[in-house]
């Protein structure tokens, strides 16, 4: 079974402060991890994926297999980062791969 946990439903920071959105996963195989974001009045979209090892909009996320975590970080938060963030894991089931999402974290960046 695969499971994703985002322990914080709500996270509030001030503009310019560092932000970290936590994500922990449970999966017996080798996981593929993603972060998806949903801005107000927009559709859910991919933010980044761990295999790309890239920084998107200043966000980075490192897969830590020892801690089974994939936390999303940004050193200086901006107001436009306010959104709902979902961590997701792609793992193989009996019928191909499937994406499992966490509960989501609503990030608010205050001016």
Partner 1 sequence: DGGITQSPKYLFRKEGQNVTLSCEQNLNHDAMYWYRQDPGQGLRLIYYSQIVNDFQKGDIAEGYSVSREKKESFPLTVTSAQKNPTAFYLCASSIGTDISPLHFGNGTRLTVT
Residue ranges in contact with partner 1 by CB under 8 A: 4, 6, 9, 32, 34, 36, 43-46, 49, 51, 86, 90, 95-104
Q: Which 3 state secondary structure label does DSSP give 93?
A: strand
Q: Which 3 state secondary structure label does DSSP give 51?
A: helix
Cβ(27)–Cβ(89) below 8 Å = yes
How far is the C-alpha of 98 from the C-alpha of 29, rounded, in Å?
13
CB of 8 to partner 1, least distance (A): 12
CB of 51 to partner 1, least distance (A): 7
CB nearer to partner 1: give 9 or 57: 9
CB nearer to partner 1: give 15 or 99: 99
């Amino acid at each position: 079974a695969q499971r994703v946990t985002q322990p914080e439903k709500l996270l509030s920071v001030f503009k310019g402060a560092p932000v970290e959105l936590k994500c922990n996963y449970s999966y017996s195989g080798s996981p593929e991890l993603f972060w998806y974001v949903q801005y107000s009045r927009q559709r859910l979209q991919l933010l980044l994926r761990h295999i790309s090892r890239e920084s998107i909009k200043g966000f980075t996320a490192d897969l830590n297999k020892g801690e089974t975590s994939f936390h999303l970080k940004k050193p200086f938060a901006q107001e436009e980062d306010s959104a709902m963030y979902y961590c997701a894991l792609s793992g193989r089931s009996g019928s191909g791969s499937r994406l499992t999402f966490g509960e989501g974290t609503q990030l608010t960046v205050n001016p």
